[in-house]
Amino acid sequence: MCKFCRCYVPSLSSLADGRLQTLESDSFVCVREKKNEAASPEVIIIDLKNGNNVIRRPIKHWTKQVIALKAQSRTLQIFDLGAKAKLKSTTMNEDVVFWKWFSETTIGLVTDTTVYHWNVFDPNEAAPVEVFKRNPNLSVSSNYF
């Protein structure tokens, strides 16, 4: 069972071969998906009450058992899987169109108008900090991070 949203966490193989028999949540199923042997596994969330919509938004920290989840493009949550605890949560005023870990401690966030940094391990930094306004005519580029 997923400790955060209280849903069952099956493997995709158990979904495919029918071994999945019960669900702990009637709204969401979290699945660890690995597309092939060379690919890194990722966590996907299936929204059972929204046409089985697949949410592929989590990003995992490079070395720590920490993941960041994005819901409805504005709500961000950071979880420490090792400690089974939520580290931080925030809701942005506009949609996050791009995000990425760019250091051991910080996630870069890009909205239509602004670039933010969020140190997820600093308890004094509750929300992302604005770094600069961006030109809306420019496309989002990961080269900044």
Among 41, 56, 71, where does a domain finish? 56
Give the Cα separation of 28 and 52 in Å (integer).
9
pTM value surpassing 0.85 = no
pLDDT tens digits, one per residue of 19-78: 443 444 566 666 666 677 777 666 676 767 777 767 665 677 777 878 888 877 888 988
Query: Residue 44 corresponds to which tokens in the numbers above?
Result: 């996907």
CATH number, position 97: 2.40.10.480
Contacts of 117 (CB under 8 A, 6+ apart): 106, 107, 108, 109, 128, 129, 131
CB 50 within 8 A of CB 31: no
CB 12 within 8 A of CB 33: yes
* 102 in the same domain as 121: yes
* 74 in the same domain as 35: no
Domain count, the chain: 2
pLDDT tens digits, one per residue of 77-89: 888 877 888 899 9
Q: In the prediction, which pLDDT does 85 show?
A: 86
53 burial (CB, 10 Å; 0-12 / 13-18 / 19+) is: exposed
What domain range includes position 128?
57-145
* 38 in the same domain as 65: no
* 63 in the same domain as 103: yes
* 137 in the same domain as 66: yes
Maximum average pLDDT range among 6-20, 70-84, 101-115:
101-115
